[in-house]
Amino acid sequence: MPGRVPAEDSLLAPVPAEVPVAPAEALVPVRVLVTGGSGFLGAEICRQLVARGTETVSLSRRPSAALTRLGIHQVHGDLTDPAAVDRALDGCDAVVHNAALAGAGGPPVPYWRTNVDGTRTVLDRCRRLGVRTLVHTSTASVAFRPGGLENADELLPRPGRYLAAYPHSKAVAETLVLDAHGPALATLALRPHIIWGPGDPHFLPALTRAVRRGRLVMPGDGANLVDTTHVRTAAHAHLLALDHLHRGRPVGGRAYFVAQGEPLPLRHVVGLLLAAAGVRA
């Protein structure tokens, strides 16, 4: 499971007195682009930004009625299209780069195009247009290895080999983001693990489909501990990271695990999620 971030490295840690704070008008971004704003986590990030009064833009492939109700300006296009990214970035001083292709299998090319080429395009356009801040949604999967992780922190090196295209492509994208950190563009990456909550279109539906087909395979005996992330926790972490970066605090160029800090046995986690959907396995 992902370990907790040490207190001195946490985005929640107090800022030392000697760290200079930016002028008041720069404490939070004025206009933020959320890539993948129509998705599960992206929509929650948009909701939280709007709730605090931040002007918010979404870049996604298709329109979202939920974002329309929130009054969010939507730009539709591909992450790898510089023109579409430029339209979305117009007037923005910060980006939450949340869009990605996720999955457990499949050919590598689509993952590479969206997760790597798309990230490279977003970074390039941010530099060209003078965007100050970028928070990247990575995944704890970039650090996983056979046998799992226990009490791990962000100093853990990445594995030498990946078993699927998704974690591999996300690891490369994360490297691009962290390497881009500098005086002109401040960046960091967040690594949430198993995001769940109301409206989950991914994890819970996959579990319920497996049960209804008559078979849900439990790795081992289900006693292994797993730490997960509620969608609101994950979104809140993105806003904290965004504000800390924008204020010039020394958190950039690094990746951070994000989870509830409440590891539970896998069997228990799966049972609770299925019960919430009215399904018994």
Options 111, 162, 166, 256, the catalytic residue: 166
> What is the distance between the alpha carbons of residues 252 and 263, in angstroms, rounded to a whole number?
27
Are the beta carbons of 174 and 256 closer than 8 angstroms? no
Are the beta carbons of 143 and 159 closer than 8 angstroms? yes
Residues 6+ apart with CB under 8 A from 187: 123, 133, 134, 135, 136, 177, 178, 180, 181, 245, 252, 253
Residue from 31, 23, 88 nearest 54 by CA:
31
Residue from 177, 195, 191 nearest 131 by CA:
177
Cβ count within 10 A of residue 129: 14
Note if 111 is an active site residue.
Answer: no
Residues 6+ apart with CB under 8 A from 54: 28, 29, 30, 31, 32
Tokens of 46: 């948009």
Catalytic residue IDs: 166
